[in-house]
Amino acid sequence: MAVKKVQEVFEEPACGHNQAKSEKDRKKGCTKVAMPGAAAGGCAFDGAKIALQPIVDAAHLVHGPIACEGNSWDNRSALSSGSRLYRTGFTTDMNEMDVIYGGEKHLFKAIRQIRDQYNPPAIFLYQTCVPAIIGDDIETVARAASEKFGLPVVPVNAPGFAGGKNLGNKLAGEALLDYVIGTMEPEYTTPTDLNIIGEYNLSGELWQVKPLLDRLGIRVLSCISGDARYREVASSHRARAAMLVCSKAMINIARKMEERYGIPWFEGSFYGISDMSESLRNIAKLLVGRGASNDLLDRTETLIASEEKEAWAAIEAFRPALSGKRALLITGGVKSWSVVSALLEAGLEVVGTSVKKSTAEDKERISALMGEDAHMIETLTPREMYRMLADAEADILMAGGRSQFVALKARVPFLDVNQERRFAFAGYKGMVTLVSEIHRSLTNPVFDHLRKPAPWQPECRLTPLV
Ligand code: SF4
């Protein structure tokens, strides 16, 4: 695979985390070797698939043995308002003969089959470890198939061994920059055309934000990539401004679109009431700076005032029950500060937050929110997490699905706030949902039962049956 591309991604100039490293460390990239006993994240291919699969009307074809597609298929709840083609698993299911003779012909036939049976607007073609090792050239196959079938076939060269999930996200971004963005024109443009980058519409979170933008007359020209259509992404270079959501995963897209097409961007968050309001303000400011009507700023303030009032009124009902409850928050990157701010707004105390994937800027924001004594956790082993919960240092664990069993073993309520979450927590309505879900978890009567001794334990006092 293109080593140069990986190197380029590692040296991303807009990533503060990268730039804070020495030149030598930067070259090593961000991948960390997993230690025995630690849970490892996804591979680069997995990261690329996560980033692009939410383009809902495209076919996503995985070139490799079947388990690569099996492991990555629909492992996030990215929702679609239309086509469901993205949820169909396509793979070349490479076998031993492909490994011996090469899998390129097999791949070409698979592209033809998808074109004949589904006729999608585009096919994303994902490289995985085995074909990369035997030297299958997916770029050449993609080019030949594109010419033959008159259909965009986009090679995504991020085999698993290249690195971790985050690198895969960025390589997916490179594929969009190299083969998709700028290849089509929108039917029309408006002075309020906006790109949202790095938002995957997990559990429908984009739909908690889009109605607000609609009310302000702001058009989402393209969301990269939640609930996206191929055409929208291909014509996203005509946007007037962009927001990079909550993660440095696709920072290369935001930076390069600014360099190539002059689209200004900012990094913001849709989590938490004040962060949501700040993001709306920044969007309005950028758009006005690019020619949108000045009254957008006032209309934005009016909308913020009414939405905040409504959200606070809804949250107020939960405050007495949540006030003083302690949350241990183990999540990644920028979410560490945006969720901290959301929890504080709901009256909870945050006893610790993970900063493993956070940048220096993220950490500064956490200190500003929680004070200088903020307990920032670099690494927390499951054993230490269990100890904290079992010793009642926290009333609820908010983390990714992998940690739920630690919480359940310690008989402590758990709420999934990571990518596999089933509830949408973005925007004002999402904040109310978050607070109500925390409340529901904390007051779930099952935990009272769980904490009682079992009937066979000596201290158990059961009323005898008569
Ligand atoms: S590490 Fe390689 S073989 Fe394993 S899932 Fe990722 S791409 Fe497939």
Q: For 50-105, how does the pLDDT look when each residue is reduced to its tens digit (9 = 90+)?
A: 999 999 999 999 999 999 998 877 777 899 999 999 999 999 999 999 999 999 99
Q: Using CA positions, which residue lies closest to atom 6 of ligand 1?
A: 160
Q: Tell me, what's the pLDDT at 207?
A: 97
Q: How confident is the model at residue 269 (pLDDT cuts 50, 70, 90)?
A: confident
Question: With a 6 A CB cut-off, is 168 part of the ligand 1 pocket?
Answer: no
Domain 39-179 has CATH 3.40.50.1980: yes
Residue of 365 and 301 predicted with greater confidence: 301
Q: Using CA positions, which residue lies closest to atom 3 of ligand 1?
A: 129
Question: With a 6 A CB cut-off, is 68 part of the ligand 1 pocket?
Answer: yes
Question: With a 6 A CB cut-off, is 129 part of the ligand 1 pocket?
Answer: yes
Question: With a 6 A CB cut-off, is 157 part of the ligand 1 pocket?
Answer: no
Dist. CA 161 → ligand 1 center (Å): 7
Q: Using CA positions, which residue lies closest to atom 8 of ligand 1?
A: 68
Question: With a 6 A CB cut-off, is 128 part of the ligand 1 pocket?
Answer: yes
Tell me the CATH class for 319-451.
Answer: alpha beta
Beta strand 349-354 pairing with 326-329? parallel
Domain boundaries, the chain: 39-179, 193-315, 319-451
Q: Tell me, what's the pLDDT at 189?
A: 97
Q: What is the pTM of this model?
A: 0.88
What backbone torsions phi and psi does residue 398 show, to the nearest 5 degrees? -115, 115
Q: Do domains 39-179 and 319-451 have the same CATH topology?
A: yes
Q: Tell me, what's the pLDDT at 225?
A: 93
Q: Tell me, what's the pLDDT at 466?
A: 40
Dist. CA 115 → ligand 1 center (Å): 26
CATH number of 193-315: 3.40.50.12380
How many helices (H) and strands (E) the chain has is answered by 22, 13
Question: With a 6 A CB cut-off, is 132 part of the ligand 1 pocket?
Answer: no
Ligand 1 atom nearest to CA at 71 = 5
Q: Using CA positions, which residue lies closest to atom 1 of ligand 1?
A: 160
Judge residue 263's burial from the number of C-beta atoms within 10 Å of its C-beta, 0-12 exposed, 13-18 middle, 19 or more buried: buried
> Which position has the token pair 């995963």?
249
Q: What is the mean pLDDT of residues 32-56?
A: 80
Q: Which of 433, 55, 424 is nearest to 205 (CA)?
A: 424
Long-range contacts of 433-437 (CB under 8 A, 24+ apart): 434/342, 434/346, 435/314, 435/315, 435/318, 435/322, 435/346, 436/318
